[in-house]
A and B are shown apart, each in its own frame.
Chain A
Amino acid sequence: MSVSYSAIGWNRAKKAYDKVIVTGLLVYLAFFIGVSLLAHPDATIETLLIRALATAAFLMLHVILSIGPLCRLNPSFLPLLYNRRHLGVTMFLTALAHAVFAIVQFHAQGNENPLVSLLTTGTGFQTLGAAALVIFFLMAATSHDFWLANLGPRVWKTLHMGVYFAYALIVMHVALGALHSEAHPVLAIATGAGMAWLFTLHVVAALRERAGDRDDELIDDGWIDAGPVVDISEGRARIVSAGERIAVFRYDGKISAVSNVCRHQYGPLGEGRVIDGCITCPWHGYQYLPGNGRSPAPFTEKVATYDVRVVGGRAYVHSKANAPGTPVKPAHA
Chain B
Amino acid sequence: MPDTFYVGYLETSPATARRLKRVALALIVLAGAAATVLAIATGPFDRATYEFTKERSWEGTLEATPLPVLIARTPAASGSAYSALVRLPLVAQGKHGVGAMIAGLDGASVRFNGKKIVRQGTTMLEVVPGTIERFEPSLPPDGTPVTASRIEDLGSAKFSGEIVDSKCFLGVMNPGRLEVHRACAIRCIAGGIPPMLFTRDAQGREAHLLLVDANGQPLNDRILGFVARPVTIEGRLERRDDLYYLYAETWARH
Which residue from chain A places its CB closest to the CB of B180 in the assembled complex?
A: A181
A186 x B37 contact (CB < 8 A): yes
The answer to whether B32 touches A122 (Cβ under 8 A) is no
B2 to A: closest C-beta gap in Å: 8
Q: A111-B190, A121-B187, A187-B38 are in contact. Are A28 and B6 (CB under 8 A)?
A: no
- Chain A stretch 163-196: residues in CB contact (< 8 A) with chain B: 176-178, 180-184, 186-187, 190
A40 within 8 A of B: yes
A173 to B187, CA, bound (A): 20
Taking CB as reference atom, which chain B residue is nearest A176? Answer: B179
CA distance A121 to B174 in the complex (A): 20
Q: Which of A24, A59, A76, A176 contacts B4 (CB 8 A)?
A: A76
Segment 22-41 of A: residues with Cβ below 8 Å from B = 23-25, 27-36, 39-40
In whole angstroms, how far apart are the Cα atoms of A83 and B24 in the complex?
14
Instruction: Tell me, in angstroms, the Cα distance from A94 to B175 when the chains sit together.
Output: 22
B72 to chain A, nearest CB (A): 26
Q: With an 8 A cutoff between CB atoms, is B101 at the interface?
A: no
Nearest chain B CB to A87 CB, angstrom units? 11
Question: Does any Cβ of A come within 8 Å of B225's Cβ?
Answer: yes
CB distance from B192 to the nearest CB of A (A): 8
Shortest distance in angstroms between B15's beta carbon and chain A's nearest beta carbon? 12
A76 to B35, CA, bound (A): 26
CB distance from A300 to the nearest CB of B (A): 18
A112, A182, A273: residue with the most chain B Cβ atoms closer than 10 Å: A182
A92 within 8 A of B: no
Q: How many residues on chain A are close to B (CB under 8 Å)?
A: 73
What are 28 A-B contacts defined by CB distance under 8 Å? A11-B8, A13-B12, A20-B24, A24-B31, A27-B28, A35-B40, A40-B42, A40-B45, A52-B35, A59-B31, A79-B8, A106-B187, A107-B183, A108-B94, A110-B95, A112-B187, A123-B179, A123-B186, A126-B183, A180-B180, A181-B181, A182-B41, A182-B42, A182-B43, A190-B37, A190-B38, A282-B6, A285-B9
B residues in contact (CB < 8 Å) with A: 4-10, 12, 16, 20, 23-24, 27-28, 31-32, 34-50, 93-96, 173-175, 178-184, 186-188, 190-192, 225
Interface residues of A (CB under 8 A from B): 1, 11, 13-14, 16-17, 20, 23-25, 27-36, 39-40, 42-44, 46-48, 51-52, 55-56, 59, 74-76, 78-79, 82-83, 105-112, 117-118, 121-123, 125-126, 176-178, 180-184, 186-187, 190, 272-273, 275, 280, 282, 284-285
Q: A20-B27, A107-B184 are in contact. List 15 more A-B contacts (CB 8 A).
A: A13-B12, A20-B28, A23-B28, A25-B31, A28-B35, A30-B35, A35-B36, A35-B39, A48-B42, A75-B4, A107-B183, A125-B179, A181-B44, A182-B44, A186-B38
